[in-house]
């Protein structure tokens, strides 16, 4: 599965289901709105980069990782952004692709 489009910087992919947020995310306005966030390490991030999350009560949570350009990132974007109607990206599923027809003779 792929995603296509231009990121609207809503920040939905940098939050957990429970409301914790990546320590590198600057929330400029309400999460989910276009241009609501900015990542302080966007240019340096990589898949598997350790990050801490900040829980709603202010606790720092370790054991989280940035999932740049990975299946895990796509899954999070779909769950936290697209399914909630805040992300500007769109899904491109395998079924949406044009499949090549098989060439050859029919077998009897």
Q: Does 104 fall in a domain? A: no
Residue of 6, 11, 8 whose CA lies nearest to 25: 11
Q: Does 31 fall in a domain? A: yes
Q: Does 20 fall in a domain? A: yes
CA distance 88 to 64: 25
* pLDDT tens-digit profile, the chain (108 residues): 789 999 999 999 999 999 999 999 999 998 889 999 999 999 999 999 999 999 999 999 999 999 999 999 999 999 999 999 999 999 987 655 522 333 344 444
- pTM for the predicted model, two decimal places: 0.76
pLDDT of residue 1: 74
Q: Does 106 fall in a domain? A: no
Domain count, the chain: 1
Q: Does 54 fall in a domain? A: yes
Domain that holds residue 20: 2-96
CA 99 to chain centre: 26
pLDDT of residue 98: 28
């Amino acid at each position: 599965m792929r995603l296509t489009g231009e990121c609207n910087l809503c920040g939905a992919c940098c939050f957990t289901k429970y409301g914790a947020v990546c320590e590198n995310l600057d929330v400029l306005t309400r999460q989910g709105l276009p241009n609501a966030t900015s990542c302080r390490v966007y240019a340096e991030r990589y898949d598997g980069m350790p990050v801490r999350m900040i829980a709603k009560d202010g606790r720092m949570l370790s054991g989280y990782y940035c999932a740049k350009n990975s299946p895990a990132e796509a899954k999070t974007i779909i769950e936290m952004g697209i399914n909630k109607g805040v992300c500007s990206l769109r899904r491109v599923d395998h079924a949406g692709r044009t499949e090549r027809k098989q060439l050859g003779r029919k077998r009897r």
